[in-house]
Chains A and B, each alone.
Chain A
């Protein structure tokens, strides 16, 4: 009896908080008309926003992957002064509001910021352009690969690497042949989470991009643009696109998870 109460409380909560709003998306799109949603998705500005989002992911994800692996190795295998500080800074973007991130970048690269005048003087537009959006996206997605890699590295220990060294492997060989293959699932999982975060980033990018339609708009900003112009069908259309991407990410995550334990 008690078991059922617990089960239905859990499922009921999920239904009210999560599933009911989700199903509304499809209902609303159906109600507003599929062709309208399709028109919003195929709008040139939306396609441009899609491209921008992909570019941001294409830059931020590889950079953060490399950084995450290097950083994970440094945190687990090395001892150096300021390690605690590095650890804290890697985790910070998880706990920090994207708005604060965006605003900080805005201050740093703005007209009166430390770097703003220098870049403007050299004819490089950082703020309200792609560079600042890339920086913001990297910032918010820094921790994910590192956080997946660190526990896996701890768990596998370094005996195998030591064995490789005694057999004459260089540290480069040891990394590619021994370390990387054993942490690969953690890395892939981290990459998937990083991608999800980059796709969905809103706050930080909203501040530094200026959200100019057809220029510096990402998909999430596009949703807001449609919403503020009271174009419900458009907003739901782009939201659906983001939803499909999210579900794709989710499927990959779910497929990877059990393997993470056995690999």
Chain B
């Protein structure tokens, strides 16, 4: 308990304290700095896009891994976890190598928002796959077969039977991915170029402002990011409660 207080709670408290050292007014003016607003908007916008991409492709990949059979499936399954194991700064370097100035495929996306989206998709790939996969495994195929025998088309089976069961999994996976993407820095530093108002993300803003001595500005944006993290945790908690409401009766 003490461990948790010293390691986690105290630094957070210090952050909250610093952000309000100039009063509510100071906090507000620090958050509403044009550069800070631009960074926050960009971060939230890009994170939503990445979360959406993850929701779709994560589900498709999970589906393929559970319901499909093909050679090398075990390898694909193992590779999914790679972004968890690989330092994100390496991820940034790799995506830059492929889609950067020396790109062998002729795409020059470095220092653009598309590059940020690409690298964040890399970093957050496992979340949705890993939350949807176990639910799909346990899903009873009989229900789907029953629906089919009653004349339901594939699409109907998916939207009416499969989707409702895996939706909580998708949602909590997306929420985790979202939180991860909002806070990501290692890969962003390399690939975004950090141009203020264009490709500067909130995490980089905090980093730069902190380094250049603007503690109040950095801590204000950091507090906003802290708020986002708490909100995400709340959403995940709510989804989990909603998903287990039948079990608890």
Residues of A within 8 A of B (CB): 2-3, 6-7, 9-11, 13-14, 17-22, 24-25, 27-28, 63, 67, 71, 74, 86, 88-108, 113-114, 135, 138-139, 142, 193, 196, 199-203, 206-207, 219-220, 223-224, 227, 235-236, 239, 242-243, 246-247, 249-251, 253-254
Contact = CB atoms under 8 A, between A and B. Distances in A.
A220 B60 contact: no
B1 interface: yes
A203 B184 CA distance: 8
Q: Which 3 A-B pairs have the closest CB atoms?
A: A97-B183, A200-B87, A104-B11
A108 B11 contact: yes
A63 B124 CA distance: 27
A96 B11 CA distance: 13
Contacts, number: 234
Contacts of B10: 108, 114
Interface stretch (B28-36, B140-148, B225-233): B225-233
Given A24-B98, A139-B11, 19 more contacts: A6-B60, A6-B68, A17-B118, A22-B94, A88-B230, A92-B230, A92-B233, A96-B226, A99-B222, A103-B206, A103-B210, A104-B15, A104-B222, A114-B17, A139-B7, A203-B207, A227-B93, A250-B78, A253-B85
A102 B183 CA distance: 12
A100 B81 contact: no
A203 B210 CA distance: 12
A196 B64 CA distance: 27
A95 B232 contact: yes
A95 B18 contact: no
Interface in B41-68: 57, 60-61, 63-65, 68
B131 interface: no
A21 B91 contact: yes
5 contacts: A95-B232, A100-B226, A102-B210, A103-B207, A236-B93
Of A3, A28, A97, A254, most buried by chain B (CB within 10 Å of CB) is A97
A182 B135 CA distance: 24
B161 interface: no
Contact of B90 (A10, A13, A239): A239
Contacts of B176: 94-95
Of B83, B94, B122, B226, most buried by chain A (CB within 10 Å of CB) is B94
B229 A95 contact: yes
A140 B79 CA distance: 23
B86 A200 contact: yes
Contacts of A249: 85
A86 B2 CA distance: 11
B7 A135 contact: yes
A94 B131 CA distance: 15
Given A104-B14, A224-B190, A246 B7 contact: no
Contacts of B95: 21
A24 B179 contact: no
B180 to A, nearest CB: 8
B156 interface: no
B189 A71 contact: no
B219 interface: yes
B185 interface: yes
Contacts of A219: 87
B207 A95 contact: no
A103 B57 contact: no
